[in-house]
Amino acid sequence: MVIGFPLVINKKEIKPGVVVLEMVGRIVMGPDCARIEQEVDQLARQHDKHVIFDLTGISMIDSCGVGQIVKCFSSLKKSGKSLCLAGVNAMVGGVFKMTRVDQVIGIYPTAFEAAANSPAEGPDKLI
């Protein structure tokens, strides 16, 4: 059995109202999925409107990881926020395509492109 490094998550705001969670490692059942859920629970209570998961550094995702991302999408949507994905490599992208997550959650090449395509705030939008 190979033990991987724990998931590392760095949070940054790339423009007003848009937060990026940069992830490095693997998104698999256990502490990794729980950590993502904790981060999103905190974001759901904040003023930021749009969340981007930058998956550039993700080397592997399992079914629990896919389920966690869908759960985050749903909980953010319920709190009036949005979630999109960026930097998805071929392996992770293949999993999203096979599970049809790519049909539900927007996927962009980079976090900056995802931010540029985030939903508008309305007539007085900041971004």
| CATH code: domain of residue 110 | 3.30.750.24
CA dihedral 14, 10, 70, 76 (to 10 degrees): -50
The helix (H) or strand (E) run that includes residue 66 is helix 63-78
Whole-structure pTM value: 0.89
Q: Which domain holds residue 30?
A: 8-116
Residues 3-38 have pLDDT tens digits of 567 899 999 999 888 999 999 999 999 999 999 999
- Does residue 68 register a pLDDT over 50? yes
In a domain, 123, yes or no: no
The total number of structural domains in the chain stands at: 1
Tokens 């389920």 -> residue:
67
First to last CA, the chain: 46
Residue 44 has a pLDDT of 85
- Look up residue 65 and give its amino acid: G
In a domain, 1, yes or no: no
How many Cα atoms within 13 Å fall on the side-chain side of residue 15? 15
